[in-house]
Amino acid sequence: MSNKTRVFRPLGLTIAILTGIIAFSAYPLLKAYFAWRLNNCTTVDGFTCGSTTFPFDALTQGIAGLGILVFITAIFAWRGKPPEVRFVFQGSVLLTAFMLVLESIIRIQGDKPTIWEGGIDSTVQLFESVLKGQIPILILVALYIIWYCNRAPARAFYRQEAMKTLREIMEENKE
């Protein structure tokens, strides 16, 4: 019988992994899916319903690929094995966050579509507002993930070592 106790995932790490999946996997994948659907649809009458405010280009597709990478590494980070996966998960989150912020800056600074001479100005403004608003949120979420994955409870989970209590630490210091 093994006397090694199982170390459970701390709540903060659970929150970090789930927010990483939502912000850096689900969001880029859904954004790519909607961009693909809006740019490749045709109505029954043969009219296209393409939207130039949601571009489906190489940048969008690349970020969707990074979203898949974040999802795969999050599965391993959730299990906690191998222990080095926390670094891979953090790296994929940082890379995806950087690319999403870069995409936002590029889209905000890029050329604005002109369909029907200003017929979609409100849509373009809404799209720009979302892009501007997501930048601080993505940065804060990425910082939380990096911060919590490097805290002592998360490191103990990945090493599968029980954390010492304050009493145990005090007793060690007395000796």
Nearest to 57 by CA among 11, 4, 103: 103
Give, rounded to a whole angstrom, the gap between the first and last alpha carbons of the chain: 31
Confidence of residue 1 (pLDDT cuts 50, 70, 90): very low
Tokens coding 119: 């017929």
What span, in angstroms and rounded, lies between the C-alpha atoms of 89 and 20? 9
pLDDT at 53 > cutoff 70 = no
Average confidence (pLDDT) over 68-72: 98
Confidence of residue 109 (pLDDT cuts 50, 70, 90): confident
pLDDT winner (highest mean) among 23-32, 44-53, 116-125? 23-32
What does 30-73 look like in DSSP terms, one character per residue? HHHHHHHHHHS-B-TTS-B---TTS--SHHHHHHHHHHHHHHHH
pLDDT at 111 > cutoff 70 = no
Confidence of residue 44 (pLDDT cuts 50, 70, 90): low
pLDDT at 128: 82
pLDDT at 116: 45
What span, in angstroms and rounded, lies between the C-alpha atoms of 37 and 2? 54
